[in-house]
Structure 1
Amino acid sequence: MAQFVATNGSVAKQSATEGPTDSGFKLKFCTVCASNQNRSMESHLRLASADYPVISFGTGSLVRLPGPSIDKPNVYQFNKTSYDSMYKELESKDPRLYRANGLLNMLERNRNVKFGPERWQDWQIGVPRLTQTTDKGSGGVEGGVVDIVITCEERCWDAVIDDLHARGGSLNRPVHVINVDIKDNHEEALVGGSAILDLANSLNTAATETRALNPASFDSGSATSRSGFDEKVPEIIGEWQDRWPNLPALWTLAWF
């Protein structure tokens, strides 16, 4: 399995990340963390706000949020529990605690992005997403496929790749799986969101150039028509890593 690893440097350099560099074509993105709460949702919001089609998931077995002590987390089910219900439950339990640790602010953001946390392993890739039309970033991902998956932790990257291998690539559609290692706290999630938007802009610029040669074939997921873009991705990540040296990256090309 091809893999790109870059971990050099110690200070992240901020860069302009205002939105797609091309007003026409836009790559489709998926962001992933453990519980689809903090890092993936900050990145989901940043990409959606820049008009990228985007969905997001978690890879854990359950959604876990900090509780009053380390042995008493708040645990919820994926795909069934809304961010709004989590917000109201925690607010009723201890508003001072959950405001102070940032959970209420986080859930307030999340409930304005989509209904609730979804689990990657339950995603029916290629099946139209007909009930998520009010989610931010849903326009463009109704068909249930994306071009780029960005995970926020190496164990999530491993889980996504293992799952894709187990599924067998029945759609025969290439997908880039990139990990941007982000610490799971609110401050680092903000930095990571900016970095992921920066990476999305660079990838979109390169994809737009390749797509211009054969738009229909590129959009259908043809590996041949996308090869020019696929070959550029490791170099794009390397250049991005120079701008964000505190966020080590992993990459592989996989298949839906």
Structure 2
Amino acid sequence: MSTATDPFARRVEDRDAAPQYVLPLVVRIEREAPPARTDALETAARAVLLLLTDERSADEGEWAAAVRDWQDGRIRKVVRRARGAEWRRAEALPGITARGELAEVRVYPPVPLDAWPKDLARLQVSGTELDDPAPPGSPRPGEPVVWLNPAVRMTAGKAMAQAGHAAQLGWWSLPPRSAEAWRAAGFPLAVRTAAARDWPGLAAAGLPTVRDAGFTEIAPGSVTAIAQLER
């Protein structure tokens, strides 16, 4: 169908013509004690959910307009890193800090793509390579899971953004009772790289799926993550 007659295509054009917003996330990476990769990914996903459900993001809250404008666009997320004084300055800005075992990730209300707060704009995107000291265990029975595509290589920062995106799509997909129960429990979840043999079944299951826009690292349209929240 041509773009001229496709209502969805027109909506995409309208979306992309509107001012673009981005959701900033900052991960704390100290030289002496960096977090494990999986811990950082899971903490980033929870951070996104905490911001979405914060009272400041709802109705007429102080972040509501920015969140609405961001969600009307491409719901971009960018992860930067900080340590020491950089982290202290970043933590002083309005936002929410999610904490994992060792990971700390701070999420901020969305900002215009070209108008980041100074103390965040100066932080580096590169250098977010993290490792797991040991392979993460299997998710607990019934635990919500974000599955990463085993065929797509991503830095930890990129994977954090994708995990957050999948968690957001999964949250939107839940019926109200399930969503409230997950929120009340503190958004427990696991982020794992799927086994190659399992990925085709996950991709065909109709689950919330992230297709990357291709702005950084990977090809446009790549499926990066799938949210399996109810098992």
Please report the TM-score for the alignment, with normalisation by the length of structure 2.
0.31
Please report the TM-score for the alignment, with normalisation by the length of structure 1.
0.29
Which structure would you say has the larger RCO, counting Cα contacts within 8 Å and 6 or more residues apart? 1
